[in-house]
Amino acid sequence: MRREGGSDPLWLFGDQLGPHFHATDGNQDREVLLIRSAAAFARRPFHRQKIHLVEAGIRRLAADLGDRARIVDAPTYADGLRRFGRPVVVHEPGSHAADALVRRLGEQGLVTEVLPTPGFVRSKEDFATWARDRQRFVMEDFYRDQRRRFGVLLEPDGDPASGKWNFDHDNRRPPPGRSTLPVPAPWFPSEDDVDDQVRADLDKAERDGDIHPVGVDGPRRFAVGQAEAEEALDRFLDHRLATFGPHQDAMLSADWAMSHALLSVPLNLGLLDPLDVVRRAEERYLSGAAPLASVEGFVRQILGWREWIWHLYWHLGPDYLKKNELHAHRKLPRWWRELDADSVEAACLRTALAGVRDRGYAHHIERLMVLGNHALQRGYDPAELTGWFATAFVDGFPWVMPANVVGMSQYADGGIVGTKPYAAGGAYLNRMSDHCGGCTYDPKKRVGADACPFTAGYWAFLDRNADRLRGNPRMRQPLNGLGRLADLPDVVARENRRDRF
C-alpha cells in the first residue's frame, strides 16, 4: 500500500462525519466518498434508531458538502469502492474487521493511504508506549497521564486543579428525593425531510427482509449533523454541565436523561472533536460557570474513559472477546434479545430495558449496575452480551463495548481492566434509585416469592464463583460473608430455578 495518497478522494465511514475528518490537514478540498453498504446492517439485529442515526448522518453530510461528496450504494464496502472506480485514502477505521478490510483493499490498490484518526486525541503508538510492560490497565493512571499530556484542568505548577485529580466521591449522591432532577431539558432535534426519507427506506428494507431491527422507531433524539451536534454540546455546557456531577450515578424512573450529556452519539459518529469538547468544558470551570467536580467528571468520561476504551480495543486485540474467566456460558434469554421490557417485573431491570427498547439508550450506571449486573449474576456469555450492547445501543460501535463489557462489566478477563466484579445486590439499587419503592420484589429479601433477584442473585453469583474469585483481595470480605448465610443453599437453589424477573 502506498503511504502517500496525494489528492485521491477521501473515503469516510459512517462514524467519521465531522469536519475534523474531512476539513483539516489537507482534506479541505478532497472529494469525499460515502458508501452505504447493504451488508453493514443486514447481518445482525441492530436497533432501529441506531440504523436511522447512521443513515441520516451520512445523508446529512453529503447534503452539507454538496458537489464535493458522492454517495455510492453497494452490497458491500469493497463493491462500493469498485463501483466508484478510483483509489481512495481513508482514516483508521473503528473495528478490527474494518481494519482488515482496509488492509486487503490496500493490497488491491483500492486504498492508497491510511490516515491517523482525528476521532481520538492520542495515537495508537503513544498508547503502546504508555502500556508497555503493564500487566493491568488502570483507567485512573491513564487518565492522569492524559491530563498532564494535554494540560487539562492543571495548576500552573502542573498539579491538578484544586489539588485533586478525581472528584468521583463527590459525584455519587443518591437520588434527590424527587421524581426528576430540577435541571433544564437537554437539546433534542427537530426531524426534517432527511429523517422522513430514511424512515421510509428503512420501512421498505424491513418489509423486504433486508434488515431485522429491534427496538421501536423514533423519534430521533440525537444529533446527526455538525450544526445539530454543536447545538447539543452548547446546550449541555451552558445549561446542564453545572449539575452533571452530583447525581451522575443515580437512577430515576421518570427521568431517563437527568443531567447526562447525551453526547455519546455525536461523539461516536465523529461529529465532535473530543479535545475541543474537553477544552470547552474546561472553559466553563475557568470562567466560574460550572463547578470543578462536575467539569472534572465530564472531562474524565471523554479524555479518560472514552480514550481508554478505544485504545484497549486495539491493544488487547480481537482475541480479547474470547475471554471468559468466570466460565459464563448461558445464552441471552429471548426477552432480553427482543427488548421485551413489559415481561420484566423487577422495576430497575424493566426501566433500563425499556430505555433500550424505546431510545436505544441507558445511562452508564443502568448499563453497568442494572443490565451488566444482572448479566453477571445470571452468567450470560460475555461475547454474546458484548454483541448485544454493540447493536442494541445507539452509541454502540465495535470498539466501544469489549473492554466495557468483557472487562469492566463481566470481569471475564480476570482483572486486566477492572479490579473486581461489579456485582451488587438490591441494597445498592435501593440506595441509588427510586425503583425499589413500588417494585414487586423486596431488596432486603433473599428468599421467598418477593425475594429481590439482585439480592439473591448476588449471593448465588458469589457462591458459584467463590473458587475463581478467592485470589482477589477486594473480594475477600464479600466471600467471607457467604459462610454467615444459613439460608445460602435455599438461596442458590431458588436462583437456579428462577425463570422470571
> CATH code for 124-186+221-316?
1.25.40.80
Residue showing cell 469492566: 408
Residue 47, helix vs strand vs coil: strand
| Pairwise CA distance, residues 195 & 220, whole Å | 8
User: CA angle 297-300-303, nearest 5°?
Assistant: 145
Predicted pLDDT of residue 1: 43
CB 377 within 8 A of CB 458: yes
CB 67 within 8 A of CB 74: no
Domain ranges of the chain: 10-115, 124-186+221-316, 321-497
Give the global pTM: 0.95
| Pairwise CA distance, residues 307 & 273, whole Å | 12
Residue-by-residue DSSP string for 85-136:
-S-EEEE--SSHHHHHHHHHHHHTTSEEEEEPPSSSSS-HHHHHHHHTT-SS
Predicted pLDDT of residue 275: 98
Predicted pLDDT of residue 395: 98
CA distances from 420 to 320, 393, 496 (A): 18, 25, 23
Predicted pLDDT of residue 6: 64
CB 75 within 8 A of CB 38: yes
Residue 152, helix vs strand vs coil: coil
CB 350 within 8 A of CB 226: no
Q: In DSSP terms, which residues pair with 214 in a beta bridge?
A: 47
Residue 206, helix vs strand vs coil: helix
- Backbone φ and ψ of 131, nearest 5°: -85, -10
Predicted pLDDT of residue 476: 94
> CATH code for 321-497?
1.10.579.10
CATH level 3 topology of 10-115 = Rossmann fold (3.40.50)
User: Which H helix or E strand runs over 112?
Assistant: strand 111-115
Predicted pLDDT of residue 456: 97
- Determine the distance from the C-alpha atom of residue 152 to the mean position of all C-alpha atoms in its chain, rounded to a whole number: 23
State the 10-residue block means of pLDDT for the chain, 501 residues long.
Answer: 67 97 85 96 96 98 96 97 96 97 96 96 95 84 96 96 91 88 95 97 97 96 98 98 93 96 98 98 97 96 97 96 98 96 97 98 97 98 98 97 96 92 97 95 95 97 96 94 93 90 90
Predicted pLDDT of residue 218: 83
Dihedral sign from CA coordinates of 300, 305, 311, 316 = positive
C-alpha cell at 392: 442494541
| Pairwise CA distance, residues 17 & 270, whole Å | 5
- Report the candidate in 301, 281, 262, 278 with the shortest Cα–Cα distance to residue 171: 301
